[in-house]
Amino acid sequence: MITKTRTTKETDITVALDINGTGKSNIDTGVGFLDHMLESFSKHSLIDLDITCKGDTHIDDHHSVEDVGIVLGSLLAQAIYPVKNMERFGSANIVMDEACVSCDLDLSNRPFLVYELNVSGKVGQFDTELVEEFFRALALNARISMHIIECRGKNKHHIIEAAFKSVAVALRRATAKNERIGIPSTKDVL
């Protein structure tokens, strides 16, 4: 288990993770919908996660959601790099009822995000525009090239949850051990 704490005027966050875990989680971000998404992420990535966040949610959830992505992403980078004896690439299509979302990712050490989810408005009290903010912070800080594409869907909750699960499964596949591959790059470094 590796741990990181980040304290700003807007948030106080501690994240602990075990990338080779079993999918156990203990999450309290102060943003109920984000907690639900991160519990799904943990379960399907098999990454053990402990996350606490005390943020300025009296203003809105933006700082908490983005900053959790920053801290989680930086810990993922610490756990992943240098990439060795890992698959490196991962992909998953996740279906939730009428919704289907795909994620393709590369543990490239070159961050990039393609985000194509057609969601707007709110799910409960949660602003759906924060989903992109979370994934951007995660990808940039984890130094992952990540493409999250909505294939179809109508229900915003289903689309967003399918996105979190598709990222989780793609990440699980990309970090899968493969002793034969060594450093998975013709450059011999990532």
d(CA 121, CA 137): 20
Token representation of residue 54: 């005390």
Domain assignments of the chain as residue spans, ordered by start: 2-174
The token pair that represents 38 in the structure block: 């991160």
d(CA 155, CA 170): 22
* pLDDT tens digits for range 66-92: 999 999 999 999 999 999 999 999 999
pLDDT tier, 33 (very low <50, low <70, confident <90, very high otherwise): very high
CATH 3.30.230.40 applies to domain 2-174: yes
Whole-model pTM: value is 0.97
Instruction: Return the structure tokens found at 44.
Output: 């399907």
CB 12 within 8 A of CB 4: no
